[in-house]
Each structure stands twice: as C-alpha cells, then as structure tokens.
C-alpha cells in the first residue's frame, strides 16, 4: 500500500469514526424507559448533580433513563438542531453500563459518589474501551489506548459511566497563533449554546458546551492556561482548575508538565467538587502528584464567605465595561455574605507571558514525544506530526496553520538555559511575587476577578478575539482556580451571554475557594440554561 493510499484510508476511517459515533449511537434509544409513576415525574432538563444523585438514591430515576435522556439530547443537537458539535464520539456500551449499575444499586452495591452518573471526557484523555483518543486531530483517529488514564480508573471505581468523548480545540489549542477555539479536524467547530455564532473559548470547548447544553451531568476538561475556566465562564457553568498534581496527568495528551491539569466542568459547585474529589489521587509516575486526605465536599458551606478577606484584583479588569459593571454588582453580594474586600494589583500576563510561552514551547516538544512513545501510531516526534499535517493539509490546515508546532520543534538543547530562566521567572512572578505576595501583604484568603469577557463572534479568518482573562496567574503558578456563573451580559435584541467570577488562591487552597465559591453560588443562583435553537445551518 502506498503512503498516499494509506493516508486516504486513514482519513476515511477517521471520518467514519467521528460521524458514526455521533450519529448512530444515540439512535439506540429514542425514549427514556419508564418503570413507575415516580420515575416518570423526574424533571430531566438541566438537572444538576445533587438532584440527580438524590433521585437515583430514592429510586425516582435510573441510570439507564439518565443515559437515554442524554443520548437523545446529543442526537437532537450535536450534529442536528443547534449543531453544537460538542461531542466527538459516544461509548456504545454506555447503556449497558447503566443497566449494570442500576442492577448493582438494587443489590445494595453502590460503588461511590458517581454511581450511575454519566461523564464526558475531553478527547485528549485515554480510555481502554475502544474509543479513540484523538486530540481532535485526524492524525490520531486510530489512537486506541491500551489502558485507562489514571483519572478514568478513578472515575470508574466511583461508579461513573463514560458516556463518550467531547470535542476540543485541536491539540488543546496549541497548534496555531491564529486558531479558532472549538475547531478540530475530527469534530468540526464546537459552538456556544447561548449563541451558536459565538465561541466556546479555550480548548475544553466541547466539554463546556456539552455541560451547558445538558448533554451530560459531568464533563472533564484540561487546562494549560485558561482552557477549563474560560469555556466554563462563557458557557455559563462551573469549572475548577485544581492545584497542579491533585489529579494525575497519566494518559492525557500533553502540552506542558509545568502547567497541565485535568479538572471538572459541571452545572453546580457541588457537582464540580464531587467530580474533582473522585478524580484526585496520588500517582507516583507523575512528578507533580501529591497525597492529600482532604475531603473537599466537606467545604460546601453556605456561609463560606463569612469572615473571608478577599482581594479584588483591579488590574485584571478594564477590558470590557459591561463585564466590569456586572462584576462590581457581585462585589456587593460578597460583602453582604460577610466578606471583607481589599483592592489589590499583581503581576499579570504582560509581565510573564513571554516567559510562559517559552516554557510551553520547550516542554511541548519533549512531552509530546513522551506521549507518542506510549502509542502504536506511526509518529514519534513533533517533526513527524508537522509532516503528517502537511500531507493532510486540506483536512487539517484549512483555516489556520501549525506555527506553534514548528516553533516547538525548533527548540533544541541549546535553548535549555533560556527555558530554565523562563520557568523560574514565570513561576516566581505568578506565584511567589504574584498571588502569594498579594495574599501575604493584605492578609487575604483568596483573590477574585472577572474570569474573562463575554464570548466573541466566531471568526475563522482572524481567529479568536480574546480581550482579557484572569486565568494566567493561577495557571502558571500551578494554583487552584474556580469559575462560577456571575450573571449575563444583556443588550437589546441580543442573546444573553454568560460571564463568570474567578476565585483563586495559593497552592492547596481548594477548601477556601470551595467555601467562597459555593457560598456565592447559593446566594446568587445566577445560572440559567440556554435555549437551544433548532434552525442552525452551520457547515463547519
């Protein structure tokens, strides 16, 4: 078989996988089975984790019904209806897994906090169930891992159902300087459920859109800088970027071991904390991993803002007047809940962004090679991926290129001193002289800022239109960061666009952040589900 024939065969297979998984799997069921009057009364639409968990425990709902409901939602609005393209592939065993877990529950065998709860995984996380792990790229369409990622093993141990894989910005949005968030060669262009002409933001695009659109109870995303919290904010959901090392990076297609982490994306703080708890574990093979006995769900305290000293990071504002106005109103709520607010300023991306970029490029080349070595794919280096993209340019490079791949590939051992200097600088300015310094100087528990601006119009010509973000300090330092819906930007004759409030602090400060975020969420209850259009005519 010639190389050209092999490429065409691989492409056909990849497209078949991507399309058949999203189009045929949901048709296995068209209506959730009803077994008694209580179950029939359950309100599926936009139910959060707590409501679903209680209904399962009380016999008002079965996992089979829940999975069937989500499969129907995906069939109606993933490639049809609103055409959100949030899901790349579905687990053909999801319904069978749900039935088995329902039977186990009847026998008194409840495996954990996620027993019978569906989870979508960002499609850069390994599973050993026959689902390809593609990073959104047709180059990885036949990447079938032999082992679950560590976090997936933890989810299964807690009784979770792997519903399928979520679309993402290809290669976790680290291929081009002019990329459009949410686009991948395998999944197409993921769209924001609140306005499908607008971006999902960040690389965990499909995970955020899927949770917002009620395709799943839970989704797992990953972040290097902003790819959990940005799609969380603009899709109107809760997302947590944990302290680096709380969740193992085993089996995740990487960018940078200095910043990469997985995290939960859900419709409530309680759900996000429960999912994070289930994924967290020590992994001796991950150099950043650490042990903790913290029970994070114990910090879901409605009075969690009482007595907190909170720094308002004023220099992470000023890029969107409407966003700032909404944020200022929320500060009054924080004070009303018993918090003391102090205005602060700290080093921002403009001061350490170049150093961070050097770190990401340098680590990406080697970290990707390390992952490739675990696969049966015909690639072993960044150079191999660049060459393969060029050969498949019509499918993989139609809108933007691979400048970041090329820049990373150009890194050599001669760049090691520059890399080490950049790593030290970025960590110091974001951490010790940034977040940590502000906390110490003003005796603060945590910091707040608007997460990012409202979603922008999708622009495949010019790429993303980021105006500003609060993600970088915590991302670079490796510190925890939670985003919670803080309302909507509303203008006449325009769809309401969700925006988020960021809560972040020093390493291992998840308990403090959970208390504050949960208290704020309970006091405001801002989240409103999107009204999905059924007249979308998108072609990307």
Q: What is the pLDDT of residue 322?
A: 98
- Residue 27 scores a pLDDT above 60: no
Q: Encoding tokens for residue 290?
A: 């650490």
User: What pLDDT is attached to residue 540?
Assistant: 57
Residue 155 and residue 151: Cα distance in Å, rounded?
6
Q: What is the pLDDT of residue 28?
A: 34
Q: For residue 535, name the pLDDT band (cuts at 50, 70, 90).
A: low
Q: pLDDT by residue (tens digit) across 195-240?
A: 999 999 999 999 999 999 999 999 999 999 999 999 999 999 999 9
Let me know: does 14 contact 138? Beta carbons within 8 Å. Answer: yes
Gap between the Cα atoms of 10 and 433, Å rounded: 49
Mean local confidence (pLDDT), 296-324: 98
pLDDT of residue 536: 52
Mean pLDDT of the chain: 92
Q: Is 458:188 a contact under the CB 8 Å cutoff?
A: no
What end-to-end distance do the CA atoms of the chain give, in Å? 32
Written as six digits, the tokens of 215 are 């395709």
Is 86 in contact with 167 (CB distance < 8 Å)? Answer: yes
Q: What is the pLDDT of residue 18?
A: 37
Please check the confidence at residue 174 and state whether its pLDDT lies above 80. yes
What would the mean pLDDT of 116-135 be, rounded to a whole number? 98
* CA pair distance 5, 231, nearest whole angstrom: 38
- Give the per-residue pLDDT at 6: 30
Are residues 230 and 361 in contact, defined by beta-carbon separation less than 8 angstroms?
Answer: no
pLDDT at 41: 81
Per-residue pLDDT band at 394 (split at 50, 70, 90)? very high
Which of 278, 275, 272, 282 minimizes the C-alpha distance to 250? 282
Instruction: Indicate the pLDDT class of residue 533, thresholds 50, 70 and 90.
Output: confident
The pLDDT value recorded for residue 9 is 32
Q: What is the DSSP string of 191-213?
A: --TT-TTB---SS-HHHHHHHHT
Contact 240, 481 (CB under 8 A): yes
pLDDT at residue 1 is higher than 70: no
**According to CATH, what is the number of the domain 115-524?**
3.90.1300.10
pLDDT at 30 over 70: no
What pLDDT is attached to residue 34?
41
CA 82 to chain centre: 21
Q: Which residues pair with 344 in a beta bridge?
A: 313
Q: Give the pLDDT of residue 240.
A: 99
Determine which helix (DSSP H) or strand (DSSP E) holds 163, and give its type and residue range: strand 161-166
DSSP-based three-state secondary structure for 314 = helix
What is the distance between the alpha carbons of residues 247 and 149, in angstroms, rounded to a whole number?
Answer: 11
Q: How confident is the model at residue 538 (pLDDT cuts 50, 70, 90)?
A: low
Q: Which of 79-88, 281-290, 333-342, 530-539 has the lowest mean pLDDT?
A: 530-539
> Which positions ≥6 away from 525 have C-beta within 8 Å?
none
Closest to 437 measured CA to CA, from 382, 477, 392: 477
Mean pLDDT of 300-327: 98
The pLDDT of residue 396 is above 60? yes
Question: Could you read off the pLDDT of 416-475 as tens digits, one per residue?
Answer: 999 999 999 999 999 999 999 999 999 999 999 999 999 999 999 999 998 999 999 999
Helices (H), 107-228: 150-157, 170-173, 205-212
Catalytic residue annotation: 122, 203, 227
The pLDDT tens digits for 60-83 are 999 999 999 999 999 999 999 999
């Amino acid at each position: 078989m010639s190389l050209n024939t092999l490429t065409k065969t691989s492409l056909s297979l990849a497209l078949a996988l991507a399309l058949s998984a999203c189009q045929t799997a949901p048709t296995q069921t068209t209506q959730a089975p009803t077994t008694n009057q209580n179950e029939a009364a359950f309100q599926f639409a936009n139910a959060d984790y707590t409501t679903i968990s209680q209904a399962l425990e009380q016999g008002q709902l079965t996992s089979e019904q829940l999975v069937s409901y989500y499969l129907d939602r995906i069939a109606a609005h993933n490639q049809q209806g609103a055409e959100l393209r949030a899901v790349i592939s579905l687990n053909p065993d999801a319904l069978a897994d749900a039935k088995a877990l329902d039977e186990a529950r009847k026998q008194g065998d409840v495996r954990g906090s996620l027993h019978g709860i569906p989870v979508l995984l960002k499609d850069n996380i390994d599973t050993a169930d026959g689902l390809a792990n593609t990073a959104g790229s047709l180059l990885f369409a036949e990447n079938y891992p032999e082992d679950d990622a560590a976090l997936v093993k933890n989810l299964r141990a807690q009784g979770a159902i792997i519903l399928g894989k979520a679309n993402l910005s290809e290669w976790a949005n680290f291929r081009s300087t002019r990329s459009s968030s949410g686009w991948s060669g395998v999944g197409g262009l993921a769209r924001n459920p609140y306005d499908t002409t607008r971006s999902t933001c960040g690389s965990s695009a499909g995970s955020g859109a899927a949770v917002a659109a009620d395709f799943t109870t839970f989704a797992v995303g990953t972040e290097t800088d902003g790819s959990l919290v940005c799609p969380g904010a603009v899709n109107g959901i809760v997302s947590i970027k944990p302290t680096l090392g709380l969740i193992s990076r085993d089996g995740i297609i990487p960018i940078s071991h200095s910043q990469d982490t997985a995290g939960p994306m859900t419709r409530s703080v309680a759900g996000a904390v429960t999912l994070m708890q289930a994924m967290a574990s020590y992994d001796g093979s991950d150099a950043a991993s650490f042990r903790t006995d913290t029970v994070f769900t114990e910090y879901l305290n409605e009075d969690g803002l009482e007595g907190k000293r909170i720094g308002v990071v004023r220099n992470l504002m000023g890029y969107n007047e409407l966003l700032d106005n909404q944020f200022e109103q929320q500060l009054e709520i924080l004070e009303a809940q018993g918090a003391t607010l102090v205005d602060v300023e700290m080093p921002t991306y403009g001061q350490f962004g170049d150093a961070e970029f050097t770190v990401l490029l340098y680590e990406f080349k080697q970290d990707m090679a390390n992952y490739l070595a675990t696969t049966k794919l015909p690639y072993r280096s960044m150079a191999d991926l660049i060459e393969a993209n060029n050969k498949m340019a019509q499918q993989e490079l139609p809108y933007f290129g691979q400048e970041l791949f090329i820049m990373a590939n150009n890194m050599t051992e001669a760049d090691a001193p520059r890399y080490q200097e950049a790593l030290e600088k970025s960590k110091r300015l974001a951490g010790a002289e940034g977040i940590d310094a502000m906390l110490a100087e003003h005796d603060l528990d945590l910091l707040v800022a608007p997460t990012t601006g409202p979603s922008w119009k999708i622009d495949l010509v010019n790429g993303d239109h980021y105006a500003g973000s609060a993600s970088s300090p915590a991302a670079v330092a490796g510190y925890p960061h939670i985003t919670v819906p803080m309302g909507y930007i509303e203008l006449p004759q325009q769809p309401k666009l969700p925006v988020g409030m960021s809560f972040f602090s020093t390493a291992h400060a998840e308990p403090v952040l959970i208390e504050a975020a949960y208290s704020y969420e309970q006091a405001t209850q801002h989240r409103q589900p999107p009204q999905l259009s059924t007249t979308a005519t998108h072609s990307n």
